[in-house]
Amino acid sequence: MAERKLNRLIGYLIGSFILLGFLFLFILIFTQIHREGLMGYIFHWLMGIYLVALSIGLLMNLVRNWSKKKWYLKIIQPLGILLFTFMGIGYTVTAYQDLPYVDQPEYVELRNLEIDADYSGESHDFILLGNSSSGAEFKFYLNSTHYNQALGLQEHGELETANVFYLPNSNIVMALAYNQP
């Protein structure tokens, strides 16, 4: 009886963690805070940790209830666990690789700027495209404030170059300034 109560408590705790984590990450995605700056960097860490923790929770559920699972769940759930684990490790490794650049991000001056918006997903993607002086192409995801600022400059024909400080592995924009003629 005590073991059953403990299993139920563990299940509730894991479910609560998954639900709260999902709500928190959904708020970050919906408000587009995860696009730029230190919050974008922290988002990468949190997303990686959340996905790995989700994988651990699903693995615990799978192991505890293996004999009760239907045959198709015995196939699908391990695949989901692998997917979430690889995604979580990818986010975490990228954030770790960017750690030395948080205080001193990479710099690029972009020319031939283009801005684009993609409204097809749950959150809108605002994109800045441009070329460096060496000809390398860059693509950055912006928050709505920087996108609207670029849109206003483009309407007046003043969108020429931009100075972008970014994290090189995750392409998170840390600082952005548009240069007007």
Who contacts 92 (Cβ-Cβ below 8 Å, separation ≥6)?
44, 45, 48, 49, 52
CA distance 119 to 103: 32
Residue 155 pLDDT greater than 90, yes or no: no
CA distance 112 to 96: 32
pLDDT at 28: 67
pLDDT band at 107 (very low <50, low <70, confident <90, very high): very high
pLDDT at 100: 93
Which of residues 31 and 98 earns the better pLDDT score? 98
Q: Which two tokens stand for residue 151?
A: 């849109």
pLDDT at 77: 83
The mean predicted confidence, pLDDT, of the chain is: 82
Beta bridge partners of 162: 110, 178
pLDDT at 36: 79
Burial class (CB within 10 angstroms; exposed 0-12, middle 13-18, buried 19+) of 137: exposed
Residue 171's region, left for phi above 0, alpha for psi from -120 to 50, else beta, is left
CA distance 24 to 4: 30
pLDDT at 33: 63
Taking only the tens place, the pLDDT of each residue in 62-90 is 887 777 778 887 788 889 889 999 999 99
CA distance 138 to 167: 12
Percent of the chain topping pLDDT 90: 19
Which of residues 116 and 2 earns the better pLDDT score? 116
Residue 119 pLDDT greater than 80, yes or no: no
Distance from chain centroid for Cα 93 = 13
